[in-house]
Structure 1
Amino acid sequence: MSSGACLSDDAGPVVAGVDVATASVRVLCVDDRGRVRTEAREPLPAPERGPGGTSEQDARRWWPAVRSALRRATNALPAHGREVAAVAVSATSGTIVPTGADGEPLGPALMYDDRRAADLNAEAQHLGSERWAALGLSVGPTAALGRAAWCHRTYGSRLRHVLHTPELIGRRLTGGPVPVDWSHALKTGYDARAGEWAHEVFAALDVPVGLLPAVQAPGTAAGVVGAEASAATGLPVGCSVRLGMTDGCAGQLATGAVEPGRFVGVLGTTYVLKGVSTDLVHDPAGALYSHRHPDGWWLPGGASNTGGEALADVDPGRLVELDRAARRRGPASFLRYPLRRDGERFPFVSGAAHGFATASAQDETDAHRAALEGVAFVERLAVERVEELGIPVSGALHAAGGGSRSPVWTAIRATVLDRPVRLVERAETAYGAALLAATGTLYEDLRASAAAMVRPGELVEPVAVERAALDDAYQRFRAELRERGWLDT
């Protein structure tokens, strides 16, 4: 959708959320009651992926796409953008850009999945092992930290800054340098617990920490829109530019899961559980890691290797029909762990894990129902894992992702969890960025922004008549995992 018409001629305060994703830029203009007033999208060129795991995108294409999407979205507002009080930018986690003194790219952006610095990241893991252990993190082969060192070795004295996507856009909006939020900085080597870059690691890699931007909390004011950017985007001069968060974190905020104990289950191609805890909690297995919340709490989360792709072999045109049949049928006659690849990373870690079924399906409906239940069992196992680590999970579980559009699947999830599941209207990165833009401008803090702007969706209650059968099936599912040696007793 290139642009959207206003919901009404009601001119009130509006904020803009910008999502610079891999394939496109998305802008949402949202009012103080959470209504999306206008939206716009602009495509981006596909990343170029090459030998050795390189993954690059032309960073010079970002600003024209952001500028165009903002211009269309603001033009469709009643006051043509003059009512926009603030804007925030979110992007992919771990994408960095080498720039010169003027903040212009020296080369392509090194994307979140770029593996060219895997050896440097392995060295960084060793150099900062105590720091990473205290944070409950590990430096993986695609971490931006190693790529920052690679940039320093490749560009030499020409390199003056290593920026993340939001800082590059922030410079265009404000006309000068802006800080990075501690969410986008995480994979580049920022220690949100100590409030500093991992200086000993950068020193050992001979990388000046001065190449990296200053770091502040998400939602912090980073500057104001200047005259040149105003003319290009339709945002008013003086519009507050606020710091965003990474796409995953912003998507979580968009669900309203912003206070301790609140969690969201995102059922997309894979399953992701994310929430809020008051304290930083370490997972000895390494399945769970935490970003820092804008208010200083923590955002623990983990991603499974199973999820919506359990239905990858089902004709999309038959999903509604199969869902209805699965609802009528009731609990499946057998257990299925619908893992389509070897290895599991959350809620338990096992390289040996693989999908299994305890029997043959009686028919197509039985097979479909078993797949839906299998993913719900993984979700309950994930919630229990979080609680075992001492993190409370309270109230209804927020639900997002494509799988949450299935009424029967959502009802199964609620029943397996034995807690209500609340569907979310707009679990989108750009919407989460808009909440951060509203923080400190329209509302005092993030909780107030979410309370006023996130519109609660349907509450799905457990199906009482299926509760006992699904609980028994879940216990047998756990036993199967233990017998295979994948789940620690």
Structure 2
Amino acid sequence: MYLGIDIGTSGVKAVLVSEAGAVVATAARELALSHPALLWSEQDPDAWVDAAVGAVDDLAARHPREVARVRSIGLSGQMHGATLLDEDGAPLRPAILWNDGRSHAECVALERRCPSLHTIAGNLAMPGFTAPKLLWVARHEPKIFARVAKVLLPKAYVRYRLTGEMVEDMSDGAGTLWLDVGLRRWSPLLLHATGLDLHHMPRLVEGSDVSATLAPDYAQRWGMTRDVVVAGGAGDNAASAIGLGAIAPGDAFLSLGTSGVVFRVTDRFAPAPASAVHAFCHALPGRWHQMGVMLSAAASLAWLAGVMETPAPALLAPLGERVDGPSPVKFLPYLDGERTPHNDAAASGAFVGLRGATGRSQIVQAVLEGVAFAARDNLAALSAAGGPLAEVDLVGGGSRSPLWAQICADVLGIPVHRVEEGEVGAALGAARLGRLAATGENAAAVCTRPRRLASFTPRASVSAAYDEAYRRWRELYPALKECA
């Protein structure tokens, strides 16, 4: 048996996976976000640990025999979060998360200080990345910055608490702007640009390598009968790719989680910062990937559900499983700013085209379409960076909706496939990395493609209408930016 734990933004998921590769059981715990000021997004690092331990406690209570046979644990997690520890390993402040936009000025300063940033890190300096956050702390919280002994990402902090070891994998490390992504090692030059050095960084391993061993107290707590190894793991999107079997160059998927991602595997480091495309290490040796990232995907629907005080499924139900054309209302899903293609932390969401006769379903449809249009922006950026994509698998919480899947197919103009276990892809990928660390098996034998549950193909007449709607939608961001 193998255990995968995904440290997400809105919650933690844990999955038990059998020797045959099947998901035996899942457990989850919710997490709370804090927004103490405009553009700020923070979490308590210890809440990740409590949620992870609680999820595994749940699995151990319901499936004690299976948990007792666990050979390894893999971790995946939300990327970029700055978890600042003192010399005793205690958090100095709440973690500053991936969707925090406060460090725009520090991004400008970082690019000025380090002209070779794009060449080494392969990415633009964006407020979501980790390095600008440390510059912000140095400027605004200098007493805290002076006490920083280690900087960990979210899953690395959970690993530290579960094992006592401070270790990070290449895929998550690539999202800090401190990694030499091509050479897969920390860059002293980039660290120096933020007032840090190698001593502030955790040890690096590949995602499929052993990083540590589970602490005896936890092994005893969960009834595990052997030394349980903990794999390097992966950032959430690279872990999702492992769960989807996206390990060969050209493999691609669309994630509609809290954030949204269009992801493509590459066999080399292929930066494209001019398009605001991310170029990161994959979770396996000798593999990299490109990503277009939108900061509010399923989070946009969750926001609307909260505002309307109606569960998301109830909002979607009146629309059925397909629509015959675009909503007359347009929605910009920039509730937390945007990365690809705008790199604008200050971008904001908007509804355009509201009328006295506008109904709730038209607003709901506009939100689904706005996210799909943003995904098309990402697809266009990836196509410019490395050629077009022919099809994508769909994962994340948004993959539950056949309606949203069909809208994505019609908007993107390519087939979209809902796949088995699409909602637990990152946790499943983490478990697979744990298995590779424990067994040394060939990755291709373990990281197989999931069964496709349904395929959604573009409908010619509807796609043509969406082409025109997308053209008009793209005019909104520059027009509204001028009014901000």
TM range (shorter): 0.7 to 0.9
Change beyond 3 A, Cα 1:29–1:252: same
Q: Report the alpha carbon displacement of residue 368 of structure 1 after superposing the two structures with TM.
A: 7.0
Letter in 1 for 2:127: P
**Structure 2 matches for 1:44-83, cutoff 5 A?**
44=31, 46-51=32-37, 55-77=41-63, 79=65, 81-83=67-69
Aligned to 1:167: 156
Determine the C-alpha separation between the residues in 2 that align with 1:352 and 1:229.
44
The match for 2:318 among 313, 321, 327 is: 321
Aligned to 2:332: 339
Determine the C-alpha separation between the residues in 2 that align with 1:196 and 1:79.
40
Aligned to 2:288: 298
Determine the C-alpha separation between the residues in 1 that align with 2:334 and 2:9.
24
**Does 2:444 align with 1:458?**
no
**Structure 2 matches for 1:325-474, cutoff 5 A?**
326-327=322-323, 330-331=324-325, 337-339=330-332, 345-346=339-340, 376=372, 379-380=375-376, 382-394=378-390, 396-426=391-421, 427-428=423-424, 429-442=426-439, 444-451=441-448, 455-462=450-457, 466-467=459-460, 469-474=461-466
**Does 2:461 align with 1:476?**
no
**SS of corresponding position for 1:132:** helix
**Structure 2 matches for 1:110-121, cutoff 5 A?**
110-112=95-97, 113=99, 119-121=105-107
CA contact (8 A) 2:341 2:381 kept: yes
Determine the C-alpha separation between the residues in 2 that align with 1:207 and 1:278.
31
Q: Report the alpha carbon displacement of residue 434 of structure 1 after superposing the two structures with TM.
A: 1.3
Query: Percent of pairs identical after alignment?
Result: 23
Aligned to 1:260: 249
Determine the C-alpha separation between the residues in 1 that align with 2:295 and 2:158.
33
Letter in 1 for 2:188: H
Deviations 1:293-329 (A, max 9, x none): 12332221123477554794886535223225x55xx
Letter in 2 for 1:144: T
Letter in 2 for 1:437: G
**Does 2:182 align with 1:182?**
no
- Segments of 5+ residues of structure 2 without an aligned counterpart are 480-484
**Does 2:131 align with 1:136?**
no
Greater shift in the superposed pair: 399-408 or 48-57: 48-57
Q: Report the alpha carbon displacement of residue 50 of structure 1 after superposing the two structures with TM.
A: 3.0
Q: Report the alpha carbon displacement of residue 423 of structure 1 after superposing the two structures with TM.
A: 0.4
CA contact (8 A) 1:218 1:243 kept: yes
Deviations 1:82-135 (A, max 9, x none): 311110222221223333444x30523422145666655443232223132454
Q: Report the alpha carbon displacement of residue 252 of structure 1 after superposing the two structures with TM.
A: 3.8
Change beyond 3 A, Cα 1:412–1:55: closer
**SS of corresponding position for 1:393:** coil
Taking structure 2 as the reference length, the TM-score comes to 0.79
Q: Report the alpha carbon displacement of residue 28 of structure 1 after superposing the two structures with TM.
A: 1.3
Determine the C-alpha separation between the residues in 1 that align with 2:78 and 2:444.
24
Aligned to 1:107: 92
RMSD: 4.0
**SS of corresponding position for 2:386:** coil
Determine the C-alpha separation between the residues in 2 that align with 1:443 and 1:456.
25
**SS of corresponding position for 1:389:** helix
Aligned to 1:196: 185
Deviations 1:168-227 (A, max 9, x none): 33334334x342112322225222223332312433444232121122221211122242
Q: Report the alpha carbon displacement of residue 154 of structure 1 after superposing the two structures with TM.
A: 2.6
Greater helix share, structure number: 2
**SS of corresponding position for 1:98:** strand
Change beyond 3 A, Cα 1:33–1:379: same
Q: Report the alpha carbon displacement of residue 242 of structure 1 after superposing the two structures with TM.
A: 0.3
Letter in 2 for 1:242: A
Q: Report the alpha carbon displacement of residue 15 of structure 1 after superposing the two structures with TM.
A: 0.8
CA contact (8 A) 2:44 2:94 kept: yes
Taking structure 1 as the reference length, the TM-score comes to 0.78
CA contact (8 A) 2:328 2:362 kept: no
Aligned to 1:20: 7
Change beyond 3 A, Cα 1:134–1:423: same
Change beyond 3 A, Cα 1:156–1:483: closer
Letter in 2 for 1:111: I
**SS of corresponding position for 1:73:** helix
Q: Report the alpha carbon displacement of residue 356 of structure 1 after superposing the two structures with TM.
A: 5.4
Determine the C-alpha separation between the residues in 1 that align with 2:270 and 2:131.
23
- Segments of 5+ residues of structure 1 without an aligned counterpart are 1-13
CA contact (8 A) 2:29 2:55 kept: yes
Letter in 2 for 1:470: V
CA contact (8 A) 1:217 1:294 kept: yes
Q: Report the alpha carbon displacement of residue 259 of structure 1 after superposing the two structures with TM.
A: 2.3
Aligned to 1:11: none
CA contact (8 A) 1:95 1:109 kept: no
Letter in 2 for 1:136: G
Determine the C-alpha separation between the residues in 2 that align with 1:485 and 1:384.
16
Change beyond 3 A, Cα 1:448–1:349: same
Deviations 1:309-362 (A, max 9, x none): 4794886535223225x55xx345x87643255986545679799765699999
Aligned residues: 461
